[in-house]
Amino acid sequence: MAKLTPMKKYIWPLLALSLSFCDEKALPPEAILPVPNERQIAWQEMEFYGFIHFNMNTFSDREWGFGDEKPEQFNPTDLDARQWARIAKEAGMKGLIITAKHHDGFVLWPSAYTEHSVKNSPWRDGKGDLIREFVDACREYGLKVGIYYSPWDRNHPDYGKPEYITYMRNQLTELLSNYGEIFEVWFDGANGGTGWYGGANEERKVDKFTYYDWPTTHELVRRLQPNAMMFSDAGPDVRWVGNEHGFAYETTWSNLMRDSVYAGMPDFDKWARGQENGTHWVPAEADVSIRPGWYYHAYEDHKVRSLPELMEIYYKSIGQNSSLLINFPVDTRGLIHEKDEAAIMEMAAKIKEDFANNLAKGASFSASADRGKDYRAYLLSDGDFNTYWTTPDGQVEASVELDFGKAVTFNRILIQEFVNLGQRVKAFSVEKQLNGNWEKIADGTTIGYKRILRIPDTEAEKIRINFLDGKGIPVISEIGVYNAPPLLFPPKISRTPEGKVNIQAAEEGLQIFYTLDGSTPQPDGNLFSAELAVTQPTTVKALVFDPKTAKSSAVKQVDFDLPKVFWKAVGATEDVQKAFDENPGTFWTSKTNELVVDLGQSVNLKGFTYTPMQSRYPSGFIAEYSLEVSEDGEVWKKATRGEFSNIQNSPIEQSVVLDPVPARWIRLKALRTTDGNAATFGEFGVVTK
């Protein structure tokens, strides 16, 4: 903390003493606006809930359908919404939100306003209502129900005209009147562009600010579901965190200048951290899928997020003043895939393990100042969010000390602000005392509803949390101290263009076991000691093993195709190598918006991959592409054409499957980039296996 002068040290206890005489009169501190309303208070306690992405895209194997899909395509073989609810409940989630209508316009309930729905699908002989089944399952398991509704509709002929807004409101009325209480209505920010639009097959741009007349729609939702939170990029009740990794920020305010920031505005990410002086309470929600895509693709079955990745998400969302919305891409059976279930259960178990024992419960608390008997420091570990420690008016700078009575070891510190009176803290630090010496171990900026600091294993007899700066006096609900058991990270697997594979563990003293035949590596199998030559399409699987604890990490799998050493770019500069150097961290910009590669040998091409550039300030992501192939470098044949939907928000490797075609030369052309800039290539790859 800022150094206490001897004078200040002397005054604080006196102040506390004098306040204790007027205990009965100590009034709660005045709120600092903005503050959460009742519906936001109920929502913030949920913290963790799930997304279900299941709709037409599940069957067309896309992320964004074009709108020309047919209801007959929607045909889950084994749909069981109770399985989704059971898994969510067991994982500790408090609710589920389902994609009632995604950008392709297909709806999961028999809406009276469209034929493009389950009623014309083979599922349950056209008599099914998936929203009904979902809602019933959620109620059975005690989960709250949320509805995702895409304003953009690539199927509807009227999209872009005023009539469509009526359609949208009619459908919302159905959804919000017929299925009981809804806790969140999720309005997606992706909006406008190309689509089928009832056969028009064209691009339709809308003015995102005016077209939807949001105030009227918001009123409708409020009238039908007064307790529902409305989500969009910028609220009104809960805002997007600005990325699809599930990460909030070290500094995350729940305040937002809501009147000047609106859903779908350009550069929304500038406001993703919130604004210290924001006029409205619009907290962040971090959304992320348990796999790279939001929808199910069998080719991502081995890309389910590992436990370390999921825990990183947990700590960067819930641990950084945000709620967490994890998505399950329900598969074509209509079930959450076994691997996704296993992953979320591991995560739930690890969260329990990390927070199993709150060392703060056994500590004695004292404070440099408090506001009186109802606001004493011991309330910081009473497990009741609604009781809090705070200081006399004007006392912004203050500290709280925890005396464990003996040396304890810990690596997590949890702090909750009583945000119902406004988010305040702007700067804080943590010190520890061992053998009489105080030493700073951490500092931070905002706290908000919940902040969890992860620090290296630390031994201390006492800790002191110094509230250094804030928008007003600190008002703190809870402090927790925990010792989370270590986590073994799966190894990193990489390959050089020549085909040399390297496998690395995150720490020293660990062993790596691997396989090259697709089988699961075992701690008594192949021990990795030197680079491996992988010159044919091969699946490399590896795990990290700790000989001290005999524990293994999760298995990491990477599918390598042909090595790229003999590849040559046609008609381009040297830098072009960066487009296929097995390192997505480097990139190449193409002035002609295309990449032409000579593979050096003829292959049976079954697909290709494109990873957009991974730099902090992205540019030139390919949004629409064509792929041509040639066997002699002169006669070219069209192989495919399509779009990389959602690449802007989710800049991950894009995989395209082709009808096999012989090829030696390949031309990947950007027909459109997301920002109109010259196309960039982080990494290009082929699939021949």
Encoded one letter per residue, x for contact with ligand FUL by CB under 6 A and - for no contact, window 287-326 reads x------x--------------------------------
List 34, 36, 160, 189, residue binding ligand FUL (CB under 6 A): 189
Nearer to ligand FUL, 294 or 375 (CB): 294
Amino acid identity of residue 274, one-letter, is G
Residue 427 CA to residue 468 CA, distance in Å, equals 5
Site for ligand FUL in 587-606 (CB under 6 A): none
Tokens 């190449």 sit on residue? 588
Q: Scanning residues 16 to 75, which ones bind ligand FUL (CB under 6 A)?
A: 63-64
Site string for ligand FUL, 244-283 (x = CB under 6 A): ----------------------------------------
Question: Residue 187 and residue 185: Cα distance in Å, rounded?
Answer: 6
**Dihedral of the CA atoms 337, 339, 341, 346 (nearest 10)?**
-170
Size of site (CB under 6 A) for ligand FUL: 9
Q: Which of 104/354 has CB closer to ligand FUL? A: 104
Instruction: Specify the residue, 289 or 538, whose C-beta has the smaller distance to ligand FUL.
Output: 289
DSSP character string of 132-158 = HHHHHHHHHTT-EEEEEE-S--SS-TT
Question: Which one among 190, 257, 656, 661 touches ligand FUL, defined by CB under 6 A?
Answer: 190
Q: Distance between CA atoms of 390 and 416, rounded to whole angstroms? A: 12
d(Cα 360, Cα 351) in Å, to the nearest integer? 18
Q: Which is nearer to ligand FUL, 189 or 612 (CB)?
A: 189
C-beta neighbour count of 212 within 10 angstroms: 23
Among the listed ranges 73-81, 184-192, 474-482, 574-582, the one in contact with ligand FUL (CB under 6 A) is 184-192
DSSP 115-127: SSBGGGSSGGGGT
Task: Draw the binding track, 625-664, toward ligand FUL (x: CB under 6 A; -: no contact).
Answer: ---------------------x--x---------------
Shortest separation between residue 679's beta carbon and ligand FUL, angstroms: 21
Rule CB under 6 A: choose which of 188, 309, 331, 561 binds ligand FUL: 188
**Minimal CA–CA distance to 333: which of 290, 298, 289?**
298
Give yes or no for a contact between 355 and 482, defined as CB atoms under 8 angstroms apart.
Answer: yes
| Residue 489 and residue 506 in contact, taking contact as beta carbons nearer than 8 Å | yes
Q: Least distance in Å: CB of 508 to ligand FUL?
A: 39
184 alpha carbon, distance to own chain's centre: 17
Q: Which stretch binds ligand FUL (CB under 6 A): 77-85, 187-195, 560-568, 652-660?
A: 187-195
- Minimum CB separation of residue 63 from ligand FUL in Å reads 6
Q: How many CB atoms lie within 10 A of CB 84?
A: 27
User: What angle (nearest 5°) sits at the alpha carbon of residue 391, between those of residues 386 and 397?
Assistant: 120
Nearer to ligand FUL, 190 or 396 (CB): 190
Which residue, 294 or 587, has its beta carbon nearer to ligand FUL? 294
Among 469, 450, 466, residue whose Cα is nearest residue 412: 450
417 binding ligand FUL? (CB under 6 A)? no
Burial of 652 (0-12, 13-18, 19+ CB in 10 A): buried
Instruction: Give least dist CB 240 to ligand FUL, A.
Output: 8
Q: Report the residue number, 146 or 189, with the smaller CB distance to ligand FUL.
A: 189
Minimum CB distance to ligand FUL smaller for 322 or for 557: 322
Which of 147, 56, 151 minimizes the C-alpha distance to 100? 147
Nearer to ligand FUL, 289 or 553 (CB): 289
Distance of alpha carbon 73 from alpha carbon 439, whole angstroms: 63
Please give the helix or strand (H or E) that residue 685 lies within, else none: strand 683-687
How far apart (Å, rounded) are the C-alpha atoms in residues 261 and 269? 10
Least CB distance to ligand FUL at residue 83 (A): 21
Polymer length in residues for the chain: 689
CB nearer to ligand FUL: give 190 or 661: 190
Q: Which stretch binds ligand FUL (CB under 6 A): 182-190, 275-283, 456-464, 624-632?
A: 182-190
Which residues, listed in sequence order, are joined to residue 589 by a DSSP beta bridge? 680
Report the residue number, 190 or 265, with the smaller CB distance to ligand FUL.
190
Query: Residues interacting with ligand FUL, by CB under 6 A?
Result: 63-64, 188-190, 287, 294, 646, 649
